[in-house]
């Protein structure tokens, strides 16, 4: 876990060491900044890619700057650290508020305090940080998505025959054999002390009735369009497979249960043709095997079905 928070911790520690050199330090905001910074590092350990740690980091950097005299503190460069973290581990929707937070880092003190401590001329460099941060963030995010996609594709392919054996012909997703291989690989990568990992199981509600009413070709079209819509809502690191029939499953690496619930609700909302889907979510407890993890997600799915369908429920720990 220390590896995941190292960029946050290292950049923040360097800023706290360098900023007071040659400056008078106001001890109260300096101490508060240190506490907020430590909190942001701790949250990053547990919820990599989440928005709260990045915004707390920016708040700590702003308070540190204020404690040593304001705009002249020279710590603005650390604002690019949460941008990079969000680019590497978050979605485009999570990256945008972090970039907005960088803008607030420069604009808010000028608007509220101003004067020699925060002169309006500082907005010029602030604008450059926002532009460069956005360029870095979205470029890194695109490259990371491409690399991870190619890594997953290389893992599941290997040869044309193997690709056919691991692909569902109707949806183009991985089939159950591929799902089992991906899940085993994801559990191995997470290891005993790695990032959290969740699985989600989806089942289209009343699919048999839809088939009976519209015919099997329409049912096949629904499965294909739903799988495509759902795949677009997942993160670059997530993998969706057709588990069987109208049931699908997703591996959500580096994703705690609360974050997985957000992803699953986004997926459910994208279900096309006015249909609904139920889902079960389980976070790996690091003691169970893949079968037990999927069984807990399945149990949560059937609980969602029993509770009236069109909902997502989390499995008991």
Q: Which residue in the list 233, 246, 283, 288 is annotated as catalytic?
A: 246
At 181, list the tokens. 């291989």
At 256, list the tokens. 């705690």
Task: Identify whether 162 is a catalytic site residue.
Answer: no
Place of tokens 């329409």: 218
Phi-psi region of 314 (alpha: psi -120 to 50; beta: other; left: phi over 0): beta
Place of tokens 């986004």: 266
Q: In the structure, how many helices (H) and strands (E) does the chain have? A: 12, 5
Q: For 271-286, b where at least 16 C-beta lie within 10 A, e where not — what string?
A: beeebebbbbbbbbee
CA-nearest of 34, 11, 193 to 85 is: 11
- Per DSSP (E only), the strands in the chain are 197-204, 239-244, 247-253, 277-283, 312-314
CB of 260 closer than 8 Å to CB of 281: yes
DSSP character at residue 44: H
How crowded is the C-beta side of 93, counted as CA atoms within 13 Å?
A: 7
CA-nearest of 258, 315, 307 to 278 is: 307
Quote the CA–CA distance of 70 and 40 in Å, as a whole number: 21
Catalytic annotation, residues:
246
């Amino acid at each position: 876990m220390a590896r995941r928070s190292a960029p946050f911790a290292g950049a923040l520690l360097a800023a706290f060491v360098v900023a007071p050199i040659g400056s008078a330090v106001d001890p109260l905001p300096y101490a508060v900044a240190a506490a907020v910074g430590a909190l942001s590092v701790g949250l990053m350990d547990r919820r990599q890619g989440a928005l709260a740690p990045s915004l707390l980091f920016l708040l700590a950097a702003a308070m540190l700057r204020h404690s040593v005299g304001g705009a002249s503190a020279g710590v603005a460069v650390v604002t690019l650290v949460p941008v990079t973290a969000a680019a590497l581990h978050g979605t485009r929707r999570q990256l945008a508020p972090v970039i907005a937070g960088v803008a607030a880092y420069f604009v808010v003190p000028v608007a509220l305090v101003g004067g020699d401590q925060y002169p309006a001329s500082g907005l010029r460099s602030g604008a450059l940080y926002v532009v460069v941060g956005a360029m870095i963030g979205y470029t890194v995010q695109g490259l990371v998505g491409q690399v991870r996609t190619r890594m997953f594709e290389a893992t599941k392919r290997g040869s044309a025959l193997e690709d056919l054996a691991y692909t569902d012909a109707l949806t183009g997703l991985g089939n159950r054999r591929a799902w089992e291989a991906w899940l085993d690989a994801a559990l191995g990568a997470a290891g005993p002390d790695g990032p959290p990992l969740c699985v989600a199981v989806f089942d289209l509600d009343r699919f048999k009735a839809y088939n009976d009413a519209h015919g099997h070709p329409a049912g096949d079209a629904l499965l294909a369009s739903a799988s495509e819509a759902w795949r677009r809502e997942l993160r670059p690191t997530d993998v969706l497979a057709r588990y069987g029939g109208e049931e699908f499953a997703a591996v959500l690496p580096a994703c705690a249960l609360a974050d997985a619930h957000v992803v699953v609700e986004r997926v459910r909302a994208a279900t096309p043709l006015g249909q609904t889907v139920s889902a079960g979510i389980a976070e790996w407890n690091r003691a169970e095997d893949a079968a037990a993890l999927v069984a807990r997600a399945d149990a949560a799915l059937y609980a969602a079905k029993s509770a009236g369908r069109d909902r997502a429920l989390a499995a008991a720990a």
